[in-house]
Amino acid sequence: MKKKIKRPFSIEEWNKTNTKVETCNGKSVRILCTNIKSEYPIIAAITCNDGSEYTSAFDVEGHFCKGKSIDEDLVIVEEIEVPERFADDKIAKGE
């Protein structure tokens, strides 16, 4: 079974590895540009539930709004294989 692990967005990591990116609330993201001369140099296309896209600008740490954490912030997503017995997190939580 695969499980998504979300990590804080890092433009350096994304530039090196071109890893998968989503918003904190799970929307798919395509990074279009990372060098706009602005406080928000990242331009990304974000996919809506109906498949349409809209664009947003983000700072180098993937924040939509400086100084706030919101659902639209970017995160790096990695899918890892997890043994079935650990898939529901009950063992990790001590249940």
pLDDT at 90: 53
Nearest to 40 by CA among 48, 29, 32: 32
Residue 95, pLDDT > 70, answer no
Question: Distance between CA atoms of 77 and 59, rounded to whole angstroms?
Answer: 18
Q: What pLDDT digit, counting tens, does each position of 71-93 carry? A: 999 999 988 887 777 666 555 54
Share of the chain above pLDDT 70, in %: 88
The dihedral region occupied by 5, where left means phi > 0, alpha psi between -120 and 50, and beta the remainder, is: beta
